[in-house]
Amino acid sequence: MAMLDDLTRLARSGATVALAPTTEANLGDGLFSLDWYLHRNGVIAIGSDSNVSVDVREELRWLEYGQRTSKRQRTIAPQLAGESTGETLYRAALKGGAASLGRRCGVIAASRRSPHDRAR
């Protein structure tokens, strides 16, 4: 339970957790408690640190698949019935990636277009 308490504090802090599912799988690091973290409004970014995979879609797919396999249930990331898993994860990764880089481009919306705009 101590790890979940730490994740709750981390989510509340507003920090962005950078996840690299393919790398984490290759290293045997285990699975991040994605549902716990997202349900506490935690912010995630997606990436790779080994160049085994640099495809964001593939990383997000394996992030969800790992969760499903571990928990033996379908649809982990969406918090509301009817939400799309892909859209939920992609929007979370956009938001968290922009936050971790200090950019205003983490959503598709008016005035959020330039990747060179700094967060305010």
* CA distance linking residue 79 with residue 36, whole number of Å: 11
Residues 20 and 100: their CA atoms lie apart, in Å, by 14
Q: Domain spans of the chain? A: 2-101
pLDDT tops 80 at residue 49 = no
Name the pLDDT band for 9 (thresholds 50, 70, 90): very high
- Percent pLDDT > 90 in the chain is 25
* DSSP line for 55-118: -HHHHHHHHHHHHHHHHT-S--S--STT--HHHHHHHHHHHHHHHHHTBS-SSSSTT---TTPB
Residue 80 pLDDT more than 80? no
Give the closest residue to 45 by CA, choosing from 86, 106, 109.
Answer: 106
Q: Is the pLDDT of residue 67 over 60?
A: yes
